[in-house]
Every structure is written in C-alpha cells, then in structure tokens.
Amino acid sequence: MPKWHVLYGFIFSILLIEFFDFPLIASLVVFLSAVFIDLDHVLIYYIETKNLNPFNFWKWSIKRKNAFLSLDKTKRILFKQPHFLLHGIEFVFILLVLSIFFLFFKWVLIGVVFHLILDIINIIYNDNHLSIKTSQIWLWQRNKNKKYFHLS
C-alpha cells in the first residue's frame, strides 16, 4: 500500500541522514525513488482502462487486489500476474550499472531496493509467488499458458 511505502520510505530516509551522514538531497532521492517506483502500477491501470483519474486508479487497485486475494491459492496460480516493469532484478541490474558511473543512480538504487524489500515482505504475507516482484523474466515464463485476471 502506498501509505506504507511513504511512511517507511520517509523513516528510512531519515535514518540514512542520521546514521550514515547522507546528504539531504541524497535522502530525498532515496525517498522519492522508494515511492515513485510504483508508477508502473499506474501504467498497468492506464493500459487496462485508458483512464488516468487517480481516484479511479485507487478504487480499481483496491478492488483488483481484494478480488485476487479472495481467490484460493490454487485458483490464483491459474491467472497471469501483471508485469511491474520497475520491480525486479532486471531493473535493479540496470540501476546497478548506472550507479557505477553516476552517484544519482546509486541513491535511486537504494530507494528501489528498499521498496522491493517491503514488497517481498508483503508478497510473503499474502502468500503470492515471489516472481511478481523479483524478476520480470521469471514472471514472463510463469505467465505462459495462463489466462488474464479481469475484474467482473
């Protein structure tokens, strides 16, 4: 849920300043990247609905998540999981390479990895498959021959 990413991202950014002497701007980039990585969720919403209304996006997201989680785990595995392009080892690898050359991307990488750790905890809590937020290639393979999950 976005509120937790905002709250935990803020706390994490403050801790970076207090305990690791991060500059304020670096901490701000970490915070923003930990929150705005979820823009890929908005992209999926737009592709499926052709609507960018943030209130409709919020309602749609909650309804979709609740409908999916209400399914038995044996039923969940029959459906394709959405591809969140900014979530996964592939995106982390790109950021890692960029961070070798640009300090800015090191800060973004820290925020993204922090976000992904929170997502993985949530995935385990909700008893979902790790591929959804750990590897888009792995997810692509798992999604083969599955049907789309649509809200009715």
pLDDT tens-digit profile of 43-96?
Answer: 989 998 999 998 999 899 889 888 988 888 888 888 988 888 999 999 999 999
pLDDT at 42 over 80: yes
Cα distance from N-terminal residue to C-terminal residue, the chain:
23
Domain boundaries, the chain: 2-143
pTM above 0.85, yes or no: yes
Task: Read off φ and ψ for residue 127, nearest 5 degrees.
Answer: 60, 45
Tokens of 26: 């670096």
pLDDT of residue 112: 97
Reference 135, options 111, 119, 114, 149; nearest CA is 119
Say what angle helices 103-125 and 24-36 make with each other, to 10 degrees. 40
Q: How far is CA 147 from the centre of its chain?
A: 22
84 in the Ramachandran plot: left (φ > 0), alpha (ψ -120 to 50) or beta? beta
pLDDT of residue 12: 97
pLDDT at 119 over 80: yes
Q: How far is CA 31 from CA 65, 101, 150, in A?
A: 25, 21, 32
pLDDT at 131 over 90: no
Average model confidence (pLDDT) across the chain: 92
